[in-house]
């Protein structure tokens, strides 16, 4: 249950989590035959799977497999051209992205969207204000203490105290990823989509990032796109492997580990790198 890991990080200010049981029952995400076509290109085609509340889920696949396009369909950045997206039991297929944020969905991007000239603290403050801003709720919150308190709580949760006044431009690549993940925690998320957070990191930075992910409170489910098979399989409960826009296989890390088709795709990656 929720107590298993949530005590490893301080509770976040600025939102009640309600009862643990309520958050951990049911499905966080259901994809029903989701497709996204760009002209004649079937970037994703007929993808279906379910992520349970609090579950940690991996999406694997070589370059161009459709992983980021799938995230865009889930968040509403590029809605699906066919199929249905269900978030916490509610059909959100036609809802705009900010309505999905309001329901507890967050994401990080493959390319950093941090404000490089601003400090760690100011970037986190903007994330806090972003999810609480007028466009995301009917009532525009005052700019005062609650946002500041939530910002300081997030700095502590992300273990970024020592870097709070440092401009992003002066952070290492790993520290920037740590900051992006911390920003995704603003405003009581229930499901976070991480798009290749470990890309470009050193082996030591990767280990720290994975520790940060596995240390997240258990009521927060996540879906992680990760290129490295070993890393992905070490942090998730279940996996979907995509290839050329379609589902190749679903399974537990153990099942994926011994699947010959998966290994064939990863071995043949060089030839599949460009479409």
Ligand X SMILES: Nc1ncnc2c1ncn2[C@@H]1O[C@H](COP(=O)(O)OP(=O)(O)OP(=O)(O)O)[C@@H](O)[C@H]1O
By the criterion CB under 5 A, which residues form the site for Mg ion?
67-68
Which one, 63 or 172, has the nearer CB to ligand X?
63
The distance of closest approach from Cβ of residue 237 to ligand X in the complex, given in angstroms and rounded to an integer, is 21
Q: Which helix (H) or strand (E) holds 207?
A: helix 203-214
Name the segment binding ligand X (CB under 6 A); options: 36-44, 113-121, 173-181, 200-208.
36-44
Which of 22, 38, 115, 134 is close enough to bind ligand X by CB under 6 A? 38
Which one, 124 or 256, has the nearer CB to ligand X?
256
Burial 42-66 (b: 16+ CB within 10 A, else e): bbbbebebebbbbbbbbbbbbebbb
The distance of closest approach from Cβ of residue 101 to ligand X in the complex, given in angstroms and rounded to an integer, is 21
**Bridge pairing between strands 221-225 and 56-60:** parallel
Name the segment binding ligand X (CB under 6 A); options: 56-64, 79-87, 98-106, 252-260.
56-64
Asked if 275 is part of the footprint of ligand X (rule: CB under 6 A), the reply reads yes
Asked if 65 is part of the footprint of ligand X (rule: CB under 6 A), the reply reads yes
Residues in the interface with ligand X (CB under 6 A) total: 13
- Residue 247 near residue 254 (C-beta atoms within 8 A): no
- Phi, psi of 172, deg, nearest 5: -70, 165
Counting DSSP H helices and E strands in the chain, the numbers are 12, 10
The distance of closest approach from Cβ of residue 64 to ligand X in the complex, given in angstroms and rounded to an integer, is 4
Asked if 178 is part of the footprint of ligand X (rule: CB under 6 A), the reply reads no
- Residue 176 near residue 203 (C-beta atoms within 8 A): no
For residue 167, how many other CB atoms are within 10 A of its CB? 15
| Footprint on this chain of ligand X (rule: CB under 6 A) | 38, 41, 43, 61, 63-69, 110, 275
């Amino acid at each position: 249950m929720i107590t298993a890991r949530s005590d490893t990080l301080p509770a976040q200010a600025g939102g009640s989590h309600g009862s643990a049981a309520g958050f951990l029952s049911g499905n966080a995400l259901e994809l029903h035959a989701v497709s996204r076509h760009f002209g004649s290109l079937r970037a994703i085609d007929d993808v279906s799977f379910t992520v349970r509340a609090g579950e940690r889920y991996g999406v694997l696949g070589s370059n161009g497999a459709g992983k980021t396009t799938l995230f865009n369909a889930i968040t509403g950045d590029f809605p699906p051209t066919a199929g249905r997206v269900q978030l916490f039991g509610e059909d959100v297929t036609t809802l705009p992205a900010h309505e999905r944020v309001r329901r507890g969905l967050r994401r990080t991007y493959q390319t950093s969207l941090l404000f490089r000239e601003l400090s760690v603290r100011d970037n986190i403050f903007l994330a806090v204000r972003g999810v609480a801003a007028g466009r995301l709720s009917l009532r525009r919150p005052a700019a005062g203490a609650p946002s500041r308190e939530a910002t300081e709580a997030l700095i502590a949760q992300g273990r970024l105290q020592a870097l709070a006044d440092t401009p992003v431009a002066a952070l290492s690549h790993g520290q920037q990823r740590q900051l992006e993940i911390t920003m995704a925690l603003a405003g009581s998320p229930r499901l976070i989509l991480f798009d290749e957070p470990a890309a470009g990191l050193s082996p030591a930075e990767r280990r720290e990032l994975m520790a940060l992910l596995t240390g997240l409170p258990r009521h927060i489910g996540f879906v992680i796109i990760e290129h490295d098979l070993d890393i992905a399989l070490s942090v998730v409960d279940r996996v979907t492997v995509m290839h050329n826009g379609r589902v190749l296989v679903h399974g537990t890390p153990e099942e994926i580990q011994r699947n010959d088709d998966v290994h064939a795709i990863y071995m043949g990656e060089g030839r599949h790198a460009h479409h």
